[in-house]
């Protein structure tokens, strides 16, 4: 009786504690009775065995499952009172009494000495206790078994390992080799770079990719990103950007979404916005080597070599650094340093060469390099190229240079860029714009003495020019020339002031002085049309006809529709021929094409000095009807050229003598020798040929 009472107390204690003594390991028998196989998932083939109702009979693993499901049998009980997994070890024979094997709560199983684990089933006790040794318990089949391998050798349940945090998917754009967002480049075609590519659809939070059997909803992050990626691959960057914007709205903290958006912006040439998105992607995922590499590539395009180096170093720490990007960085840094050295000593040819090399090696959006290139061109008197370079600089979608530590002549980079722009404006006579930009440079770098000196000089030059203009309009040409001279004291290489002073000398009849100032203006700016016009007119006054004709011929090419230039050229040619003793009676300016009807007229015309064009046509020919108005226009445009028209229907003997069988036909004679023959030419070829020989003739 005392023994029964002790057993009852022991059973109640186990039930209250979950059936396990938490402080001591179970016996080996209990451990092996409940463990599933942590090694092999192979099923054991069921082997036939005789059922036994006596306590202590052992069951095969296959029969353990059957016994657990049915809850049948007398003395022997199934493992843990439930169906065992295939491969589990059956319990050893025991007494089978309720006192030695107290019942466990339904839906639970013992696993070593660890805590009770809920199986997820709704097992119920089966068969009743029934006193004596014949009672058995049964529960529902196991529906949520422990994962294989989660039990330690001691029999305790090992804590489940923490799920590894998914590594952020690579972002969009790799480093490439040039204009990024297009893949690998250099100025033109694109191919995916080693670390390039578009991210597959990034997932919000830390969730994993949805199974292939369950397609993403149309408005899901995955589907929106996938559609954007397809558009990006087709080069439809604007449409891709709209999809990436939607993806970013769905997942604003995704570095991958930021990277995709940066790629589309780069493809659209919006590099400053792309740079900001790359910086945000790095902030969101500092461990992403791809993000650091992409940011480095954009920094290199802006000429920010120090920042590019830092980002490439961070990318290298994650094995995402591109050797090609390192090579480009070294090339840009080397050429930039050489350009600065050449600029410091005034070697402008070398400075221009090194700036061009740095731009070609990847820094194609660097305001600093473009400004250095423009300054070198300005000092080399290539003003048009300097101006076009500044224009391209202003069109750039560039990041601010205020963060750059680079200084040139003590000026911060952003201030230097404005100073160069102001100097180009001053050279072209845009005085007000030059002063406004120089004031911006002073506001950026107020402590720099050179910036202050440049601004002050520009103000003095602009004031002198304004005073000179007012005096010239008032007819005070001598005072005006003095005012322009004062401006040249502050800016000795300003072609506008030289040309304006030349106009004063012309009004005063000092033609030689006018030529000198025009020469100086054209030395600084060789294509300065106004200075060339004033010099040609001064040459005419000095009766230097060869020089006069040469200048007017250049102007004729530049201003083909200017009748005043054409007439001036004609008179200069007549004067030149007269001084040489040549016949000029047949030379006339303007008028219509002269019609000739005899071979004698043709012979006289083609053997006379100058250029003669013979036009062979037929009245009913459609091509002749179309080109005749253009021939008349050319006659007006080229007054120094003699145009003769021969109608082959009315003058067949001339056509035969000149061996003309197809019309329209043209023959160009120069000083009695045939230099060009054309049959059914296009209007472009005809115009080019006539102008070529008209201008080259002197």
Does residue 502 lie within any of the structural domains?
Answer: no
At residue 590, the pLDDT reads 59
Q: Could you tell me if residue 571 is inside a domain?
A: no
Q: What is the crossing angle of helices 367-379 and 348-360, to 10°?
A: 150
Which residues touch 175 (CB under 8 Å, ≥6 apart)? 193, 194, 195, 196, 293, 294, 296, 297, 322, 324, 325
Q: Annotate 146-166 with DSSP letters as a single string.
A: PPTT-B-TTSPBPPPPPPPPP
Is 456 part of any domain? no
Q: What is the mean pLDDT of the chain?
A: 74
Give the range of the structural domain holding residue 5, as residue numbers without chain letter.
Answer: 1-160
Angle formed by the axes of helices 413-427 and 367-379, nearest 10°: 40
Which pair of structure tokens corresponds to residue 134?
Answer: 């014949």
pLDDT at 62: 38
User: What confidence score (pLDDT) does residue 244 get?
Assistant: 93
Q: Is the domain of 141 the same as that of 260?
A: no
* Total of domains in the chain: 3
Q: Which of residues 316, 351, 386 is at a domain's end? A: 351
Which CATH number belongs to the domain containing residue 658 in this structure?
Answer: 3.40.30.10
Give 405's pLDDT tier (boundaries 50, 70, 90).
low
Do 154 and 175 lie in a common domain?
no
pLDDT at 13 over 60: no
Identify the pLDDT of residue 586. Answer: 59
pLDDT at 613 over 80: yes
**Do 105 and 75 share a structural domain?**
yes
pLDDT grade, residue 414 (50/70/90)? confident
In this prediction, residue 454 carries a pLDDT of: 92
Chain segment 429-455, per-residue pLDDT in tens: 999 999 999 999 999 989 889 899 999
Compare 168 and 678 and report the one with higher pLDDT.
678
Burial classification of residue 669, based on how many CB atoms lie within 10 Å of its CB (0-12 exposed, 13-18 middle, 19 or more buried): buried
pLDDT > 80? residue 133: no
DSSP alpha helix (H) spans, 139-270: 221-233, 237-250, 255-267
Q: Domain check: are 98 and 152 in the same one?
A: yes
Task: With respect to residue 386, please indicate whether it lies within any of the assigned structural domains.
Answer: no
Q: How confident is the model at residue 406 (pLDDT cuts 50, 70, 90)?
A: low
Question: Domain check: are 125 and 23 in the same one?
Answer: yes
Q: CA nearest 200: which of 220, 171, 176, 175?
A: 171
Q: Is the pLDDT of residue 679 over 70?
A: yes
Are 136 and 78 within one domain? yes
Q: What is the pLDDT of residue 688?
A: 87
Q: What is the pLDDT of residue 49?
A: 42
pLDDT at residue 32 greater than cutoff 70: no
- Tens digit of pLDDT for each residue in 273-288? 999 999 999 999 998 8
Nearest Cα to Cα of residue 428 among 488, 375, 371, 387? 387
- Between the CA of residue 243 and those of 78, 227, 230, 525, what are the distances in Å? 60, 7, 10, 51
Work out the angle between the directed axes of helices 545-558 and 563-579 (0-180°, nearest 10): 150
In a domain, 474, yes or no: no
Please, are residues 538 and 506 in contact by the beta-carbon 8 Å criterion?
yes
In the prediction, which pLDDT does 185 show? Answer: 35
The SS3 of residue 35 is: coil
Q: Is the pTM of this model over 0.75?
A: no
CATH number of the structural domain spanning residue 321: 1.25.40.10
Domain boundary among 351, 382, 402: 351
Q: How far does Cα 662 stand from its chain's mean position?
A: 56
Cα separation, 82 vs 46, whole angstroms? 17
pLDDT of residue 215: 55
Q: What is the structure's pLDDT at 580? A: 84
Task: Say if 293 falls within a structural domain.
Answer: yes
Look at residue 419 in the predicted model and tell me its pLDDT: 94
For residue 331, give every residue at least 6 positions away whose Cβ sits within 8 Å of its Cβ, in sequence order, or none. Answer: 357, 358, 361, 362
Q: Across residues 553-572, what is the average pLDDT?
A: 85
Confidence band for 537, pLDDT divided at 50, 70 and 90:
very high
Hey, what long-range contacts does 646-651 have (CB within 8 A, 24 or more apart)? 646/595, 646/596, 646/602, 646/614, 646/615, 646/616, 646/617, 647/595, 647/617, 647/618, 647/619, 648/616, 648/617, 648/618, 649/618, 649/619, 649/620, 650/597, 651/596, 651/597, 651/598
- Is residue 629 predicted with pLDDT exceeding 70? yes
Structure tokens at 343: 């600029």
Q: Do 626 and 653 have their domain in common? A: yes
pLDDT score of 591: 56
Same domain, 155 and 191: no
Instruction: At 189, list the tokens.
Output: 């075609």
Cite the DSSP H helix spans in 525-651.
Answer: 529-541, 545-558, 563-579, 599-606, 622-637
Residues 284 and 176 in one domain: yes
Within this chain, do residues 148 and 198 fall inside the same structural domain, yes or no?
no
Q: Does residue 206 surpass a pLDDT of 70? A: no
**Is 374 a member of any domain?**
no
Verify that 182 and 143 share a domain, yes or no.
Answer: no
Q: Is the pLDDT of residue 355 over 60?
A: yes
Question: What average pLDDT does the segment 490-498 reach?
Answer: 93
Please report whether residue 112 resides in a domain. yes
Residues 321 and 185 in one domain: yes
**H helical segments located in 396-448:** 413-427, 431-444
Instruction: Please state the rounded mean pLDDT for residues 645-674.
Output: 90
């Amino acid at each position: 009786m005392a023994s029964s009472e002790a057993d009852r107390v022991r059973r109640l204690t186990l039930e209250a504690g979950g059936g396990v003594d938490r402080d001591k390991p179970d016996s080996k028998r209990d451990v092996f009775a409940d463990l599933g196989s942590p090694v092999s998932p192979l099923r054991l083939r069921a082997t036939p065995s005789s059922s036994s109702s006596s306590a202590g009979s052992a069951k095969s693993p296959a029969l353990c499952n059957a016994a657990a499901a049915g809850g049948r049998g007398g003395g022997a009980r199934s493992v843990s009172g439930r169906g065992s997994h295939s491969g589990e070890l059956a319990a050893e024979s025991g007494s089978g009494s309720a006192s030695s094997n107290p019942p466990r709560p339904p839906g639970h199983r013992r696993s070593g000495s660890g805590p009770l684990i809920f199986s997820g089933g709704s097992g119920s006790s089966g068969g009743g206790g029934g006193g004596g040794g014949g009672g058995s318990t049964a529960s529902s089949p196991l529906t949520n078994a422990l994962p294989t391998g989660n039990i330690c050798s001691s029999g305790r349940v090992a804590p489940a390992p923490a799920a590894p945090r998914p590594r952020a998917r690579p972002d969009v754009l790799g480093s490439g080799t040039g204009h990024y967002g297009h893949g690998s480049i250099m100025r033109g075609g694109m191919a995916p770079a080693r670390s390039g590519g578009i991210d597959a659809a990034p997932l919000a939070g830390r969730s994993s990719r949805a199974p292939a059997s369950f397609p993403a909803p149309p408005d899901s992050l995955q589907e929106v990103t996938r559609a954007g990626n397809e558009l990006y691959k087709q080069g439809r960057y604007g449409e891709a950007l709209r999809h990436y914007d939607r993806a970013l709205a769905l997942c604003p903290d995704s570095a991958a979404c930021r990277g995709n958006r940066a790629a589309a912006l780069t493809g659209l040439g919006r590099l400053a916005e792309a740079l900001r998105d790359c910086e945000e992607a790095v902030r969101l995922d500092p461990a992403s080597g791809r993000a650091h590499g992409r940011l480095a590539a954009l920094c290199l395009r802006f000429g920010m070599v120090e920042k590019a180096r830092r980002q490439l170093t961070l990318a290298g720490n994650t094995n995402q650094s591109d050797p090609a990007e390192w090579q480009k960085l070294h090339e840009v840094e080397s050429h930039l340093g050489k350009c600065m050295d050449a600029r410091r000593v005034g070697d402008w040819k070398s400075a221009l060469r090194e700036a061009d090399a740095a731009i070609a090696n990847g820094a194609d959006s660097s305001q600093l390099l473009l400004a250095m290139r423009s300054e070198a061109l300005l000092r080399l008197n290539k003003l048009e190229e300097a101006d076009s370079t500044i224009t391209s600089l202003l069109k750039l979608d560039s990041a601010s240079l205020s963060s750059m530590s680079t200084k040139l002549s003590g000026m911060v980079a952003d201030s230097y860029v404005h100073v160069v722009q102001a100097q180009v404006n001053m050279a072209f006579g845009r005085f007000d714009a030059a002063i406004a930009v120089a004031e911006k440079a002073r506001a950026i770098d107020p402590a720099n003495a050179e910036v202050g000196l440049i601004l002050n000089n520009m103000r003095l030059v602009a004031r002198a020019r304004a005073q000179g203009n007012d005096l010239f309009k008032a007819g005070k040409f001598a005072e005006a020339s003095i005012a322009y001279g004062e401006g040249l004291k502050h800016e000795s290489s300003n072609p506008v002031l030289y040309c304006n002073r030349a106009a004063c000398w012309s009004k005063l009849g000092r033609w030689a002085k006018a030529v000198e100032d025009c020469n100086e203006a054209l030395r600084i700016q060789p294509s300065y049309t106004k200075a060339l016009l004033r010099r040609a007119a001064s040459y005419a006054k000095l009766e230097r006809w060869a020089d006069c004709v040469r200048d007017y011929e250049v102007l004729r090419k530049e201003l083909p529709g200017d009748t005043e230039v054409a007439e001036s050229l004609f008179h200069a040619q007549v004067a030149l021929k007269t001084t040489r003793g040549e016949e000029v009676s047949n030379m006339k300016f303007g008028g219509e094409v002269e019609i000739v009807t005899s071979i004698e007229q043709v012979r006289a015309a083609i053997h006379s000095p100058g250029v003669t064009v013979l036009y062979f046509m037929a009245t009913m020919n459609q091509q002749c009807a179309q080109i005749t108005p253009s021939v008349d226009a050319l006659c007006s445009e080229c007054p120094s050229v003699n145009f003769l028209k021969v109608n082959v229907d009315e003058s067949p003997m001339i056509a035969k003598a000149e061996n003309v069988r197809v019309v329209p036909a043209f023959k160009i004679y120069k000083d009695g020798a045939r230099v060009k023959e054309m049959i059914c030419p296009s209007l472009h070829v005809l115009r080019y040929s006539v102008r070529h020989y008209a201008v080259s003739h002197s």
